[in-house]
Every structure is written in structure tokens, then in C-alpha cells.
Amino acid sequence: MMDSYSDKELLDKFNNKESRSYAFNLLVRKYQKKLYWHIRRIIIDHDDADDVLQNVFIKVWKGLEKFRADSELYTWLYRIATNESLGFLKQKRTSLFIPMIDVESQLSNSLEDDNYFSGDEIQLKLQKAILTLPQKQRVVFNMKYFEGMKYEEMAGILDTSVGALKASYHHAVKKVEKYLAQ
């Protein structure tokens, strides 16, 4: 039902003070799953992903009034979610007061004990392989491989050229293949 509203309709409803809360509720329901899984693949841990997702929607609530329709709402939401996720990992790295700490290797180790991870051995190996990628390559790989996003859409979200994204995905796939073949 909530998917039946287009982004433009949601924005119109949001800009009307009387239907603002209702429109926002519909927006959360429409995008919560997509954004959650996008964040979860970067953050790995459910509780952290939940915190980040809530913060994303609060930022959306605060900034939606100023949102200009010259870019897609979908692109804007994904951009906030990506930035918040990468910012969260950066904060995690610095809050431990160990600048060189490898957060990704910590996440990789935590996967085995994670109650919210149900993958088999090969899925675990694949996730570990993805966690060895540089951060931006990891995001590109997830968006392309799991979410099946088009390069043009990714370019808008990550503010990167299509050519650079293709090259990034190519390198990421090669690295994952190498890790899996070990």
C-alpha cells in the first residue's frame, strides 16, 4: 500500500503540515528495508545497523523540508545512509583510540558468533572476503552484487563516475575470487 505512493506524492504530503507525520511514516515504511540492508552489509552488526538507520531517518526528518526535487529522493536517502554507515565505522575506529585498528577484521571475527548471522560456511567465507576489501570497494561490491543496482544509480549516490565504479567493482570481484579460491 505504502509503495503505491510515488516519491513526489510523499514529498507533497510531507510539505503539507497536516499530513507531514503521515507522509513521513509512509516514507519510513517504503524505504526502511532497502536502507536497512544497505547499512547492515556495511556495518554487519544488527544493533549498530539499527542505530545508524534510526539516525538516518532522523536526519531525513530534519532535512526533508529543504530537500530539492532536482535529485531523486531515493538517491538522496541512499547517500545519507552510506555516509552515516561509513561515518559510524570511522567513529568506531577513532573512539577506540587506536588509529590503526582494523575494524573490518574485528567485524569479520564477530560474524562467527553473531546470533543474527545464519549463513553456511561458503556464505561466511564470502562475507569475510568482502570485509577484506577497501571500504569504498566494499560498498560498490555490495550495491552491485547484492542489491543489483545500476552503475548510473550508484554514480549518483556515491558521487563517482560510472567508469570508476566499473573499475572498482572489477577489482573487488577479482579480490573476492582470489580469497574464495584459497
Partner 1 sequence: MQAKNNISNNNEDLKDLSPTLSKIEKHNPFKIPKGYFDSLPTIIQNRCIEIEKGKPIRGLWLQNIFTPVIQKLTLLNLKIAIPVSTAIVIIIAGIYFFTSLTTSLQIENGASLLSFNQLSGEEIASVLENDNGYYIDEYLIIEALLDKEMEEEENAASNPDNIDDSSDEIIDYLIENDIDLSTIVNEM
Binding residues for partner 1 (CB under 8 A): 21, 24-25, 28-29, 32-33, 36-37, 40-41, 46, 50, 53-54, 57-58, 61-62, 91, 94-95, 97, 99, 115-120, 122-124, 126-127, 144-146, 148, 150, 163, 166-167, 169-170, 173-174, 176-177, 180-181
Residue closer to partner 1 by CB (options 79, 125) is: 125
Residue closer to partner 1 by CB (options 70, 97) is: 97
Residue closer to partner 1 by CB (options 69, 180) is: 180
User: Minimum distance from CB of 177 to partner 1 (Å)?
Assistant: 4
Distance CA 76, CA 9 (A): 16
User: Minimum distance from CB of 85 to partner 1 (Å)?
Assistant: 14
Residue closer to partner 1 by CB (options 7, 50) is: 50
DSSP states along 21-47: HHHHHHHHHHHHHHHHHHHHHHH--HH
Distance CA 37, CA 33 (A): 6
User: Minimum distance from CB of 3 to partner 1 (Å)?
Assistant: 13
User: Minimum distance from CB of 5 to partner 1 (Å)?
Assistant: 14
The answer to whether 114 touches 72, Cβ cutoff 8 Å, is no
Residue closer to partner 1 by CB (options 7, 126) is: 126
Q: How far is residue 43 from each of residues 48, 58, 67, 70, 101, measured CA to CA in Å?
A: 7, 18, 26, 30, 16
Residue 6 corresponds to which cell in the numbers above? 510515488
User: Minimum distance from CB of 176 to partner 1 (Å)?
Assistant: 6
Q: Burial, 10: exposed, middle or buried (Cβ in 10 Å; 0-12, 13-18, 19+)? A: buried
Residue closer to partner 1 by CB (options 36, 74) is: 36
Position 61, amino acid? W
User: Minimum distance from CB of 79 to partner 1 (Å)?
Assistant: 19
4 DSSP assignment: G
